[in-house]
Structures are given as C-alpha cells and as structure tokens.
Structure 1
C-alpha cells in the first residue's frame, strides 16, 4: 500500500529547543528519539558534508521506531563535480560507508547536484549507471535533486524513468521546480516556511496537502520541510501529516 511519509531535514538544531519543538527538559541525546515519534521520516543531511561512522547509522536505526524511515543525502564528493560520470569511486565509498546499517529504515538516497551543473545527456546517463539497485542485499531507491533549469528537459526525465529514479521536486524555493513522474515513488522538498503558525498560511498549507494527495496517488511519497524559517519546519511537517491522515 502506498504511503505518505512527511518529515524534516536533520534533527539537531538549537532553533528547535527550549519548547519550540523539543520539550525544554529533553536531553539533546534524545532528540532523534523524540523527532522520530512525532514524524514518520527524517532526511539525514550530515552525510552530504562528510562521512559518518557505521556505528552512527546503527545507533540511528536503534533509536527510532520500527516503521520509521530515513532519507539520506549522498556525499557532495560524488555529486559536486564537473563530470558526474567520473564519480564511481566516490559513489561506492558513500554506499559502503555504513548506510545499509539502517536496514529496512533506509529510504531514498538524495543525490543533490550542484546549482551550476547543467544537463548533459551523456554524462547524466553515465552517472545514473553508477547507482546500483541494491547494496549489501538491501534494495536502494535513488532520487536526483537537480538544481539547474536545464534538467527540466524531457530527456532527463526519460533517463531517470528508465532506471526508476525519482527527480526531486523543490517547492517554494529559488531552484527550478521540476514536476516529473519518473519512479514508483516521489520525493518532494518544500522550502518556503515563514515565521507564522505552522510555517505556512492556511491556504498555502492546504495547497501542499492537496498536492501531496495528487502526487501520492498509487505510490509512496517522501515529503520534507526544510530551509525557510527553520524553527517552524517541525510544526509545518506535523500539520501536513495530521491533514493527510
């Protein structure tokens, strides 16, 4: 059965403490435990900036409920490069870094490209060919977050569709919003929260609720509230989740 999972990017932020999201008396070491019971998914961002220890992935697995799922941002060393097709070694280093310790809690991997990276069909196809269907016996789901408008080309969607790879849709941001159905799951990041209750005004929140229902028809949807007014993101994610139950 298709599922809608709604979450936030990361969990360790000072803006969420002192009663904003986390209770004032909650120890920092229990923040993931708390967040993973308030929401159904979290996008791990630290993996984009540097390698994490296998023991960290195991710890995150153990601290979260059985039905919880993490999305994981791939290493920038694999994606922030002039020639994506040359990233084989970096891709393998990331995939063998311990992410499979998450086991069934491993959701989609977000391969976020540089803002300056333009669509080159041959190079993009070569990069997609580096992304395996499984690692350590665990099936992998891949998503491409392209941040240059040239990736709105239908050929980019066709290349992803051939591999069942999602194209991340960036909502309410400075990046191109590419709405392409290329996989049996969808990946949406909304980035327009402001300092209002629930992060969005009611009409804008309702718009995303309806859009989430449309996108998720017959397939899993992973929706993350990130950037924008960070302190409001958990409230926004919870409001979306409650509206979609």
Structure 2
C-alpha cells in the first residue's frame, strides 16, 4: 500500500480553511493526507499531553512518522538537558504512548547527521539506539555517502535488515559526502521514501550558512517527468515491501503539498479535498 504525505502540517497554507487557527491546522491537514512527518520532536521531546492531543485530533487511520530527538541522533550540541541518556530515551518512548496504543505510529525516523559516517563506532551506535527504542519501529536515514559506497552498500542494507530497521530511501541533490544516492531497497515490510528536492546549489550553501537553510535547502518544485520517475521508484519498492510511505520535504517554497497531490494522482490515489478551495458564495459578509 502507498501512503503519501508531507513534512509537518504547519507550513502548507493551501491546505487550510481561511478561518483555521494555528492549533487546528493538523485537523485541516488530516483531511488531505493520511500521514505526516512530525519534526517538532527532533528539537524537543514533546509532552505526553501534547501527543495525546494530536492523537485525538486525527482520524483513526492516520499515521505519524516521528522524527527522533536530536540527542538520540547525535545532532545535539553541548550537554543533554537530561541527567542520563536512559532518562532521555525513557521520556521519548513515554511521549509515543498514545501514538503506539492507537496504532498511529508508523515509525520513529532516526536521521543521522552528515558527519555520521560508516565506521564501527557508528554501526554500534545504531545497534544501541535500536535496543533503547524497542519495541518502537525505527527507520534510519543516512546523510553520509560512505554507507552506500561500493565496499559497504550491501553490508549496510544487510545490517538494517538483520535488526528489522526500516530503510529510508532519499531523493536529494548529489553534491558530495553530505548527500546520499537514491537506493530503492526495502529492508523491512515498511519502507520510507523522503523527497528533499534537487536544489544542489541551495543544498551546498546551507552547509555553510546555517541561518538560511529553511529558505533555500528544500526550495524545489518537482516537474511532471520527475514525479513520473518517482512513481517508478515506488513501484520498485512496492515489490519489496507491504507499505511504502512517501514524504515530500521540498517545502522551502511551499511546493510540497502541490507535488504530493500530483504524485498521489499519478499512483491513482485520491486524497481528501482539492488544494484550491472555492469561497463560500453564501457566507455572510463580515
């Protein structure tokens, strides 16, 4: 089965009603797509109360890809705001309770940083993270090319499969060690395809300037031919996995929602409401 959605629900104005307030955007979003990538959990472990609210606001078949906290992935700068790593993992897992119990947790997305290369120490860390997060399903996204080098590619995939870790397939610019090739291989009954866009210049520049990455890193509008190419990739993944999750992350210019709707149409899926809503002609003037 193919599931299509976006990164976050707060930055897609074409999905909301004019009267939608900020804390109700998830409700509108869930009328358009059945999955979403939750990235606020990367910056801070969310309270169980907040996660319970998001569980209650979404339909029964809605699912979340929850991005792992930065202290788990190695992005954290300085000292962790927790007494121990055990406390950090415990609180993160606790926050997942309502998602897990309602079967709305598709996976925990563990995205490692660009400097996390293929070496024994990092292989051991993946194993450690997987052990700490059990029984939650986890997906791993690499951002250093060494994991897919000719010497290590098959070993990397075999390693993920041996731990029942979901492989994250990425479409992104090919601009050096800090980007990975598109490797359409599933290592689990679930597989995640993340589409970051192909803005090579923006990808490189944001490695140098951390202040501008939100504006330019994912500034890309997939054309029809490129989306058709992604359909072929998804068809390949469908032959290997039961569930293919497709997340559009190209939202610096708010192209993600449009591209996701286009892609859903290409794979013969119809989701929710149209992007362009007609104004209610019978609404009373204010």
Instruction: Name the TM-score class by shorter chain.
Output: 0.7 to 0.9
Give matches, 1:195-210, under 5 Å.
Answer: 199-210=221-232
* 5+ long unaligned stretches in structure 1: none
Output the TM-score relative to the length of structure 2. Answer: 0.72
Aligned equivalents of 1:145 and 1:23: distance in 2? Answer: 34
Q: Deviations over 1:213-235 (max 9, x none)?
A: 22122421111000354411111
1:145-184 to 2 correspondences below 5 Å: 145-152=141-148, 153=152, 154-174=154-174, 175-179=179-183, 180-184=185-189
**Normalised TM-score (structure 1):** 0.83
- State the Cα distance separating 1:158 from its structure 2 match: 1.5
**CA, structure 1 residues 118+90, in 2 after alignment: closer, same or farther (shift >3 Å)?**
farther
Aligned-residue offset at 1:142: 1.0
Picking from 87, 95, 98, the partner of 1:98 is: 95
Instruction: Choose which of 53, 58, 61 in structure 2 pairs with 1:64.
Output: 58
2:258 aligned residue:
235
Rounded to whole Å, the distance in 2 between the matches of 1:110 and 1:131 is: 11
CA contact (8 A) 1:160 1:167 kept: yes
1:228/1:28 CA distance change after superposition, 3 Å: closer
Aligned counterparts, 1:44-63, within 5 A: 44-63=38-57
> Which residue matches 2:119?
120
Greater than 3 Å deviation, 4+ residue runs: 132-135, 227-230
**Cα distance, 1:243 vs structure 2:** 2.3
C-alpha spacing 1:68/1:177, structure 2 compared with 1 (3 Å): same
CA distance in 2, matches of 1:94, 1:237: 33
Whether 1:73 and 2:67 are equivalent positions in the alignment is yes
The 2-side partners of 1:81 and 1:66 are apart by 33
C-alpha deviation, 1:202, in angstroms: 1.1
Q: What is the total number of aligned residue pairs between the two structures? A: 229
Alpha-carbon separation, structure 2, partners of 1:146 and 1:90 = 25
- For CA contacts below 8 A with separation 6 or more, give which structure has more relative contact order: 1
- Structure 2's unaligned 5+ residue stretches are 77-83, 200-219, 270-286
Aligned residues: CA RMSD: 2.5
Question: Which residue of the partner structure matches residue 6 of structure 1?
Answer: 4
The structure that has the greater radius of gyration is 2
CA distance, structure 2, for counterparts of residue 37 and residue 173 of structure 1: 31
Query: Structure 1's 228 and 29: CA in aligned 2 closer, same or farther, altered over 3 A?
Result: closer
CA contact (8 A) 1:44 1:73 kept: yes
